[in-house]
Amino acid sequence: ERIISGSRDNTVRIWNVRGGEAVGSPLRGHSEEVRSVACSRDGQFISSGSVDGTMRIWDAQTGAAIRQPIKHDSSVNTVAFSNDSMRIVSGCGDRSIRVWSVASGKQVCETIKGHTSWIESVVFSPDDQSILSGSSDETIRTWDIIDTTATTDELLPGHSKTVYCVCFSANGKIIASASRDKTVRLWNAFTGVAIGELLQ
């Protein structure tokens, strides 16, 4: 029933879907452009990532900030909650991916690295066992977050420009990716094989 938005005015806002009006006051705290927002599946929390190098967690009902901002080494381009609402994944301009505990605000596994350019999109798999990422290096990768010694399970090359958005189907069997090359691609999540023709 609500939409969360982040803006170049450094704020996060909540909107009513039915009437289109803003709900409460803007959430203020970031000092630069907000590049990504996400809402936990249980509806309790909002997360935001900013060019200011921080990720913030907010109470979705009151708009209050929860603890101090979580600092990163560069711009936080993308954030996403796990399906159990207990963790947040962040992807950054320094090519790193990190997983955080919502409860403590602490990093819960080793920093994930492997992309050669900015991380533009991250998402948990439906079973919360792995992370999918898209990057300015034109690739998609999947990461095992249970075995923190693992690097990458799968590299899906195919796009010719930045991959701005990645997602899993609800059953976890298909991956979709959208790119600046003006195409959407579908992939078998288990084999990494492309499915069907390019969607142009």
- Scanning the structure block, which residue is given the tokens 């996060």? 12
Q: What per-residue confidence (pLDDT) applies to 173?
A: 94
Residue 133 CA to chain centroid, in angstroms? Answer: 8
Is 95:119 a contact under the CB 8 Å cutoff?
Answer: yes
pLDDT at 184 over 90: yes
pLDDT at 34 over 70: yes
- Average pLDDT value for residue range 39-44: 95
pLDDT digits (tens, 9 = 90+) for 59-80: 999 999 998 999 999 999 999 9
Residue 81 burial (C-beta neighbours within 10 Å; 0-12, 13-18, 19+): buried
pTM for the whole structure: 0.91
Q: What per-residue confidence (pLDDT) applies to 198?
A: 87
pLDDT digits (tens, 9 = 90+) for 94-131: 999 999 999 999 999 899 999 999 999 999 999 999 99
Looking at the DSSP bridge assignments, the partners of residue 37 are 48
